[in-house]
A and B are shown apart, each in its own frame.
Chain A
């Protein structure tokens, strides 16, 4: 199994809603990443989890709250988002601490904030 599965594929939410994005992988990877991608731009790193601990937070607003309850799963909790947060949210995984670890991406969750 070389898949990273993200759900939901599409999400529309209002600015007062609370929702979550889910990312799962069963490749034994211990690094999981969240990226935000706007149209025609490269992915921007938001968070990195290494061995279930948050190792990188790229100064992301607190309305985005990640968690990694186990090595196979990461959630990105969303609360009080702004319309400019509308984007494709990509999750990826790799072997942590292995410099030659390949990076696997999910299909992404396309978020629209109204």
Chain B
């Protein structure tokens, strides 16, 4: 257990529905990252927060995706109008100013 938690661990949804995932980073970590991992691939960067500010978004993050980190603590990742191609493991990671990233267990999304 790295100290980063994610909820839910698994989510099955029908195509077209909206889903929201939550990440709780290690409390003193002000940097928070979201990644997506598909089967047989390494995780790919989605977006990055420093405190409450979203400082970078990948081109992988289409308009259907939105992420927030109110008050610089937990973060949410919402996917609107889910598609089958969104099926993946969504990973959250956090770090302090200098240091390696600590990953949560991930949320596995299955879109049917």
Do the two chains belong together in a single complex?
no
Residues of B within 8 A of A (CB): none
Residues of A within 8 A of B (CB): none
